[in-house]
Structure 1
Amino acid sequence: MTTLRVLTSHREPRATTNPYITMLTSALRRTPGVEVVTFTGRAALLGRYDVVHLHWPETITGLGGRRLAGRVVRWLLAALLLLRLTVTRTPVVRTVHNVGLPADAGPAQRLLLRWFDRLTTHRIVLNDRTECPGPVTTIPHGHYRDWYTGPRSATVPGRFQYVGLVRRYKGVEGLVEAFRAVPDADVSLEVAGAASTPELAATITGLADGDPRVTLRFAFLSDDELVSAITAAELVVLPYRFMHNSGTVLAALSLDRPVLVPDTPVNADLAAEVGPGWIHTFTDDLTADDLTRALDAARAPRAASPDLGAREWDDAGQAHLDVYRAALARTRPAGRTAEVPA
């Protein structure tokens, strides 16, 4: 069959790239029948490709850019790309990582993001609970067993661990408050990950002040540091106020550590998938009782590793290619390629 050229919304993976993107790009490049073209302005506007695959389209529109001039350039690039996709009827595949528009998107970005949504031909969701319009295919988020291979720590008895970017919606303030109410002197909590703002870091520091059982490490974690932090824990705690998809849950499970997460249908499905003893849940606001109950449950006998067999990356590569072909079949006759002469 003809090889499809797929333009992705991310640049060539680097050391700091989200591991999900790096591993998916590698899986696609191992899959016969697909050629990955990573994002550059020239490739997007002048290159040859059959399908566009978006992950976080807000990165194309300049969300988070610090300088107005840079954001304006990204807006113009996104608008030109959207015009090209509209004129050439190039199919757009979107992986839905987050539900809804980013809260911090401005008017121009919201306009562009809605335009991307209107052009989307086929959506990929990471779990069956994500509700989307139009054709949808579920391709589960792959595991990280082949990625996080650094040295593991010895388990620290009684260690609760939070890892990942510290943001308001992730509920780290509530975790610290709940932990401080745990009376056991032999437990500990570490929060490890870069804070989204200095103000948030200061708030959490104030909440933890005076409790020597709490360690705060507000810094970006390398892969080896993340492995060390997760494997030192008896229980990884992700106290999010809202959780739909979480790569951090899969990172913990890939490293054979149980997790405490909000009680949601998605997490209930994951608990059934990976086997008993790995996913523990809480409802409403996290409490000290939730922490102690989950720690006791995590100490019960369980399998040596969770079942992540449904999350192999080679399976994901072929599944993505099937979606690309379906999207192309819906929009253009076979053999027609979107091309703008360079």
Structure 2
Amino acid sequence: MRVVVFPAYRENPFLGLLLSGAEREGATIVDARTLDELAAALAVGPAETVLSIHWTNPVAQSTRNPAVAVRNALRLRRLLRAAKAQGARVVWTVHNVLPHGARFPRIERWLHRMLAAEADRVHVMHPDTAALAAPRYRLPADRVRHIAHPSYAGAVAPAADRAAERARLGIGEREAAVLFLGQMRAYKGVLELVAAAGEARRADGIVLLLAGNATPEEAAAIEAALSDHPGLRAIRELRFVDDAAVPGWFAAADAVALPYRRILNSGSVLLAATYGAPVLLPDEPHLRRELGDERWVTLFDGPEGLRAAIEAVVVDDAEARAAALAHAAAWTGEQAGAAYLALLHEAREA
């Protein structure tokens, strides 16, 4: 079996976990990041090929010209149909209902409808995906298969020492450290987090940890937001965080804040669990159904809820950390890779 991966964003370890079963079986994995690379990959051995398609970034978000985006979208449909006519099969993984910050929402809706129509199997990671997508496009119930997002257990660097990392960052023994890790995009709610942390009050203090890449505009917006709360202590590293540094940030934190405005599947939640870090999440119905009973998850409603959740963070909550680690161990990349391999075989036989 040949598995063509598009777009092959290998910097995202999720892809490696998902494809691990196919790699163990000896499948040929072909990476494609652009439409030209995809066309070349699909031209080889189509009868033995399953296209594992993920994000639509190279199609409609690689240009600022809507005409080019439309041309790219139509080209993708032609590529899929031509490959399928020669025996290839398509498995589409739904990462988001629609991409965050999509430049051309109407084109993205068309793309998602097209992928739903053309895919031989649709891989969803949350059981509510079809219902959440329904206002924008319909997923075919007979072709939808659920394989949950795995944790990163065994696929990332080992945990760091908490005391050493907090000492390195100058965090007090009783200070509540709240971490925001990752790209500082507006849709992730980083400015709302700064405001909530700035308004929160705790006798032993709060320190906000901000670690991740920011554009100059995003960095300026964060600094302006912090200046509105001069009493808030913030430790920030507004640049790309190397993989080797990630465990240290999690070790130092008492909670990881994920105040995203729209969450369907969040690898950040599973990464936090992998490092035994409690998380603060928006109280959305599908997240409550999935994680509402988890000891390591605190759901909050709106800005006031986020402020209250920060005020309630428990410093060095051993029970929550153990619950997070247990959650991560319950569904690993190896298990998800085996399930996805079975799905690839099912698609080939469709």
TM-score interval for Structure 1 and Structure 2 normalised by the shorter chain? 0.7 to 0.9
**Partners of 1:325 and 1:193 in 2: CA distance:** 38
**Partners of 2:206 and 2:184 in 1: CA distance:** 22
**Partners of 2:235 and 2:280 in 1: CA distance:** 19
Aligned identity (percent) is 28
TM-score (norm 2): 0.79
Q: Is the 8 A contact 1:29 1:36 kept in 2?
A: yes
1:146 paired to 2:144: no
The residue number in structure 2 matching 1:127 is 126
3-state DSSP of counterpart to 1:315? helix
The residue number in structure 2 matching 1:289 is 308
- Quote the offset at 1:95 in angstroms: 0.8
2:192 to 133, 152, 174: 174
The residue number in structure 2 matching 1:214 is 234
3-state DSSP of counterpart to 2:85? helix
- Quote the offset at 1:60 in angstroms: 4.0
Q: Is the 8 A contact 1:44 1:81 kept in 2?
A: no
Q: Is the 8 A contact 2:180 2:210 kept in 1?
A: yes
The residue number in structure 2 matching 1:315 is 335
Kindly tell me: are residues 280 and 212 of structure 1, through their superposed partners in 2, closer, same or farther at Cα, counting changes over 3 Å? closer
Counterpart mapping for 1:1-342 below 5 A: 4-11=1-8, 13=10, 17-31=11-25, 34-39=27-32, 40-41=37-38, 43-48=40-45, 49-56=48-55, 58-61=56-59, 63-65=61-63, 78=76, 80-85=78-83, 87-88=85-86, 90-100=88-98, 103-105=102-104, 111-112=110-111, 114-131=113-130, 132-134=139-141, 135-150=143-158, 152-155=160-163, 156=166, 157-184=175-202, 186-195=205-214, 197-209=215-227, 210-211=230-231, 213-271=233-291, 276-285=294-303, 286-293=305-312, 295-296=313-314, 299=317, 301-302=319-320, 304=322, 305-330=325-350
The 10-residue stretch of structure 1 (79-88 or 244-253) with the greater mean CA deviation from structure 2: 79-88
Kindly tell me: are residues 267 and 153 of structure 1, through their superposed partners in 2, closer, same or farther at Cα, counting changes over 3 Å? farther
**Partners of 1:120 and 1:7 in 2: CA distance:** 14
- Quote the offset at 1:321 in angstroms: 2.3
Kindly tell me: are residues 109 and 44 of structure 1, through their superposed partners in 2, closer, same or farther at Cα, counting changes over 3 Å? farther
The 10-residue stretch of structure 1 (198-207 or 103-112) with the greater mean CA deviation from structure 2: 103-112
**Partners of 1:137 and 1:297 in 2: CA distance:** 39
Structure 2 letter corresponding to 1:11 = A
3-state DSSP of counterpart to 1:61? helix
Say what the alpha-carbon RMSD is for the aligned residues. Answer: 3.0
Task: Please list the CA deviations of residues 146-205 of structure 1 after superposition, one character each: whole Å capped at 9, or x if unmatched.
Answer: 12225614254411111011112211111101111123362200111112x433322221
Kindly tell me: are residues 63 and 189 of structure 1, through their superposed partners in 2, closer, same or farther at Cα, counting changes over 3 Å? same
Structure 1 letter corresponding to 2:30 = V
**Partners of 1:181 and 1:62 in 2: CA distance:** 39
The 10-residue stretch of structure 1 (129-138 or 74-83) with the greater mean CA deviation from structure 2: 74-83
Q: Report runs of 4+ in structure 1 exceeding 6 Å deviation.
A: 66-73, 106-109
**Partners of 2:129 and 2:104 in 1: CA distance:** 22
3-state DSSP of counterpart to 2:334? helix
**Partners of 1:113 and 1:151 in 2: CA distance:** 38
Q: Is the 8 A contact 1:234 1:258 kept in 2?
A: yes
Q: Is the 8 A contact 1:150 1:224 kept in 2?
A: no
Task: Please list the CA deviations of residues 39-63 of structure 1 after superposition, one character each: whole Å capped at 9, or x if unmatched.
Answer: 234543421143211111x134252
**Partners of 1:311 and 1:21 in 2: CA distance:** 16
Q: Is the 8 A contact 1:236 1:252 kept in 2?
A: yes
Structure 2 letter corresponding to 1:233 = A
**Partners of 1:89 and 1:123 in 2: CA distance:** 18
- Quote the offset at 1:259 in angstroms: 0.7
Kindly tell me: are residues 27 and 222 of structure 1, through their superposed partners in 2, closer, same or farther at Cα, counting changes over 3 Å? farther
**Partners of 1:246 and 1:12 in 2: CA distance:** 16
**Partners of 2:274 and 2:207 in 1: CA distance:** 23
**Partners of 2:7 and 2:53 in 1: CA distance:** 8
Structure 2 letter corresponding to 1:31 = E
**Partners of 1:152 and 1:70 in 2: CA distance:** 46
Kindly tell me: are residues 117 and 20 of structure 1, through their superposed partners in 2, closer, same or farther at Cα, counting changes over 3 Å? same
Q: Kindly indicate which of the two structures has a greater share of residues assigned to helix.
A: 2
Gapped runs of 5+ residues in structure 2?
Answer: 131-138, 167-174
Kindly tell me: are residues 51 and 283 of structure 1, through their superposed partners in 2, closer, same or farther at Cα, counting changes over 3 Å? same
Structure 1 letter corresponding to 2:148 = P
